[in-house]
């Protein structure tokens, strides 16, 4: 049994992943942007191990989400499912928030990041970025290239962590629209599989997945120089050096066991 935090779990892929995990006997920590949205969980709330609340477009509230998750404790995996298309917030929600949560939530040995086939249209250019969201400096495609690159960087640099990204397809969510042609369940099944399965394929790291099949991401995703530049930019903006924090945490775990 795993305890899994799912960001953006009030509707769509996140809610589907939550129900699937509960049906499989796992524990779920739900996330809502606001207290009023948390009220929409209905029966999911009574089945959940906990609920964390915070607007991931806000740096302070994202840190609060990490603190709330740490207070619950025992998080085995995080599905970084929350995402937006609005240009003023795409970087804050789609990239900065997953980075900060990866750095600050204690314990997860698995991270699953929400990508998109549209990441292939993103630009591997980090000059002049406004990460705060006060100004629209990058597109949705750019944000998905960056978060897919983040997943690959975590896989490369963080020992003991399984890190993967998922293209759920064009699915009928609030963002995708009712007429989207792909299977919604296959989108969240891949998230759940990567977060919990003991299948050897699911226990690999650094993959870009679509419907439980590994696919080839844009070449920039595996450019180690670009990965390093992205991590440096995010560390500079957030004041949170992800790699150092994770490595110190892992060293502490090893010392405790030794």
- 126-132, Cβ contacts within 8 angstroms, sequence gap of 24 or more: 126/229, 126/230, 126/233, 129/91, 129/233, 130/91, 131/91, 131/92, 131/95, 131/96, 131/233, 131/234, 131/237, 132/59, 132/92, 132/237
Give the Cα-Cα-Cα angle 40, 110, 17 (nearest 5 degrees).
30
Reduced to 3 DSSP states, what percent helix, strand and coil does the chain have, rounded to the nearest 5? 50, 15, 40
CA–CA separation, 107 and 125 (whole Å): 32
CA–CA separation, 112 and 151 (whole Å): 8
In the residue annotation, 144 being an active-site residue is answered as: yes
Q: Which of 99, 113, 144, 208 is catalytic?
A: 144
β-strand 213-215 against 208-210: which pairing, if any? antiparallel
Q: Which of 113, 140, 146, 208 is catalytic?
A: 140
In the residue annotation, 2 being an active-site residue is answered as: no
Q: How far is CA 210 from CA 61, 107, 110, 188, 253, in A?
A: 31, 26, 17, 10, 33
DSSP 27: E
CA–CA separation, 101 and 90 (whole Å): 16
CB 7 within 8 A of CB 78: yes
Q: Which residues contact 210 (CB under 8 A, 6 or more apart)?
A: 117, 166, 167, 168, 169, 190
CB 113 within 8 A of CB 166: yes
Active site residues: 140, 144
């Amino acid at each position: 049994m795993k305890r899994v935090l799912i960001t953006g779990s009030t509707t769509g892929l996140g809610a589907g992943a939550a129900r699937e995990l509960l049906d499989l006997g796992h524990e779920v920590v739900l996330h809502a942007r606001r207290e009023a949205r948390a009220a929409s969980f209905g029966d999911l709330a009574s089945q959940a191990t906990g609920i964390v609340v915070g607007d991931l477009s806000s740096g302070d509230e994202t840190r609060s989400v990490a603190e709330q998750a740490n207070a619950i404790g025992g998080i085995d995996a995080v599905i970084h499912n929350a995402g937006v298309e609005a240009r003023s917030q795409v970087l804050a929600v789609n990239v900065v928030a997953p980075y900060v949560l990866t750095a600050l939530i204690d314990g997860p040995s698995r991270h699953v990041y929400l990508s998109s086939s549209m990441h292939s249209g993103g630009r591997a250019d980090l000059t002049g970025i406004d990460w705060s969201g006060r100004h629209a400096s990058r597109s949705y495609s750019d944000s998905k290239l960056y978060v897919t690159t983040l997943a690959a960087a975590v896989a490369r640099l963080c020992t003991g962590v399984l890190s993967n990204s998922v293209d759920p397809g064009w699915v009928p969510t609030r963002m995708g629209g009712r007429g989207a042609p792909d299977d919604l369940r296959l989108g969240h099944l891949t998230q759940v599989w990567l977060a919990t399965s003991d299948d050897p394929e699911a226990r690999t790291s650094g993959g870009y997945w679509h419907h439980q099949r590994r696919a080839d991401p844009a070449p920039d995703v595996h450019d180690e120089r670009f990965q390093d530049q992205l991590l440096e930019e995010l560390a500079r903006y957030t004041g949170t050096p992800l790699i150092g924090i994770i490595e110190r945490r892992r060293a502490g775990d090893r010392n405790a066991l030794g």
